[in-house]
Chains A and B, each alone.
Chain A
Amino acid sequence: MTAMREAFGKALAELGEKNKDIVVLDADLASSTKTTYFAAQFPERFFQVGIAEQNMIGIAAGLASCGKIPFAASFAVFVTKRPADQVAISIAYPGLNVKIVGAYTGLFNGSTGASHMAVEDISIMRAIPGIIVIDPADAEEMTQAVSAIAEFNGPVYIRETRDEWPEIFNSAYKFKIGKAATVRDGTDAAIIASGVMTSESVKAADILKKEKISVRVVNMSTIKPIDKDMIISCAQETGAIVTAENHNIYGGLGSAVAETIVENFPVPMERIGIKDTLGEAGSNSELLEKYEMGSRFIAEAVKKVIRRKK
């Protein structure tokens, strides 16, 4: 297992070798976001801005308007909530080619606590017109996504998590912005998940299999633009949907999926995620239990949603 942040840091450094336009900005958290690999190899293209995220976002905008491809990385709370206006007006409004990287997303970040746990970063970024939002599931997907967003010309927000999580994908997988992937086939219901919750969802599918319940697991790593076709086919083919996200259930993946099914093919739906509360310090396994987000809660939600099917 490789932590997603390690995969991000190494992929970025590798990309820096191939593409000299890539520049990296840090607000004094490089050792946590892992932009340190890039900094060590390309110090002239690494800009330490100090603890000043609004300035970092603006500088990234200026660099992008001169043809650079800036990756501006910090903790998700500090790079989305605090400079939301700078992201909207300096970057998204003119459609500049900046990649915003938010680390320590959701609850599972090694005992940091509410101030450092991003529970609303996706909803903030999703609401700003013109920004792509990506929440990769594992190290392999992160590695491929870093390369894909560097090739894509436009603003992107990408999430990374701190710790090691089970692997979902191998090198046979091909990540594409805006394309979801089915990681388990099934017919009774579909779990649509993103980020580290995809691996919890696979565990839930294993639990349900023992009870002869066949559940599909879809990894919806691009949350904006959402893969509507995949969501609609899940609704049509299984008739019940559960979403699982490491984020507030308001405004994130669950909301995006709900919007799509209500407008296109309404079916019963349940949401697993952070229930409109801030986080707290604790181990990942303790938090998965306390905030009712672990695999057994996902499995329960699947059984509940199947009962709601007519």
Chain B
Amino acid sequence: MNDFDRTCKKACKNGGKILINCDKKLIEEKSKKIRCDILSMVKNAQVGHIGGSFSVTDILAAMYFGILNIDPANPDWQDRDRLILSKGHGATALYSVLAERGFFPVEELMSFAKLGSKLQVHPDKRKVPGVEASTGALGQGLSIGIGMALAARLDAKEYHTFVILGDGEIQEGQVWEAAMFAAHYKLGNLTAILDYNNVQLMGYVSEIMEVAPIREKWISFGWNTIEINGHDHGQIINASEKAKKIKNKPTIIIAKTIKGKGVSFMENTCEWHGKVPCKEEYENAIKVLSD
């Protein structure tokens, strides 16, 4: 157990009231480790989604090591903050951060997508401790997050619910049904984080089906909006803290990201949405990430 884990443990034991002092260097290191894990999982399983996992890696690392009030030893703790990865194809990033945070042994990551593994290609809530919703069918996570936020309100609990959406994902109509509802019910305890990398499976989001202007759309739906660089841990943490303080409306953090972030030949291309690296590509990528 490192210092960070000890601090977290203490915070949780105290009812989670102590704000975790985030260690930026640690989050930096974890992000590197997560990206290497993602590569190894996909290489090992010969399946998975590297591009979208890399774009959401910094967000997940900052959330799990800097924001979320959680207890890995007690994943069902009723007062925990909730985070739903609605863009379920980013599962490899989620599994790695959950393992690094102590929800299950890091060694289990290499069972990803193998027959009988709890680590499915998209997250299965029943099987993986720390996974809050079974996602993968795009567009469903924000509604589930609303249910959690309503439950918190009914039970007078203070936990916060975060939902990470993909930018291609918001082409789904259900997202806008949910957006309307969350503002109508003034769900200040709900925050969406948009992984805005502008690349989806078949090409650039702006060419497949334009989702811009994003900020204006969410403002017109009644949301508070914050725009950040989704690879800057400090900005992710500050934006999340700010979002938690807005009590009368939901917030969306529009995080500008790069699909495939971290390995230059994987960046900003739909080719790496679901491609598996060959031996040479894998070794080059690991080398770049380890430097």
A residues with a Cβ closer than 8 A to B are 23, 44-45, 47, 49-50, 52, 54-68, 70, 85-86, 88-90, 93-95
Contacts and interface: CB of A to CB of B under 8 A. Distances in A.
Interface of B: 78, 124-126, 132-137, 139-152, 154-155, 173-174, 177-178, 180-181, 184-185
A61 B126 CA distance: 13
Contacts of A86: 137, 140, 143, 174
Nearest to B147: A62
A59 B78 CA distance: 18
B131 to A, nearest CB: 9
Contacts of B139: 54
Contacts of A66: 78, 147-148, 151-152, 155
B157 to A, nearest CB: 9
B143 A55 contact: yes
Given A64-B147, A66-B151, A90-B143, A55 B125 contact: no
A63 B137 contact: no
Contacts of B151: 62-63, 66-68
Contacts of A50: 177, 180-181, 184
A169 B119 CA distance: 48
Contacts of A68: 147, 151, 154
Contacts of A61: 133, 143-144, 147
Contacts of B145: 62
B144 A65 contact: yes
A57 B143 contact: yes
Contact of A44 (B147, B152, B154, B184): B154
A58 B144 contact: yes
A52 B147 contact: no
30 contacts: A50-B177, A52-B181, A54-B143, A54-B173, A54-B174, A55-B143, A55-B146, A55-B174, A55-B177, A55-B178, A56-B143, A58-B178, A59-B144, A60-B147, A61-B133, A61-B143, A62-B133, A62-B146, A62-B148, A63-B147, A63-B148, A65-B133, A66-B148, A66-B152, A68-B147, A88-B137, A89-B136, A90-B140, A93-B124, A95-B126
B125 to A, nearest CB: 4
Contact of A62 (B78, B137, B150, B155): B150
Contacts of A59: 143-144, 146-147, 150, 178, 181
Given A58-B143, A59-B150, 15 more contacts: A47-B185, A50-B181, A54-B143, A54-B173, A54-B177, A61-B133, A65-B133, A70-B147, A86-B137, A89-B134, A89-B140, A90-B143, A93-B134, A94-B126, A94-B134
Interface centre among B124, B151, B152, B173, by most A CB within 10 Å?
Answer: B151
Per DSSP, chain A at the interface is: helix
Nearest to A68: B151
Contacts of A23: 150, 154
A64 B140 CA distance: 15
A85 B137 contact: yes
Most chain A CB neighbours (cut-off 10 Å) among B133, B149, B155: B133
Contacts of B147: 58-66, 68, 70
Nearest to A83: B174
A58 B125 contact: no
Nearest to A58: B143
Nearest to A92: B134
Contacts of B177: 49-50, 52, 54-55
Contacts of A64: 147
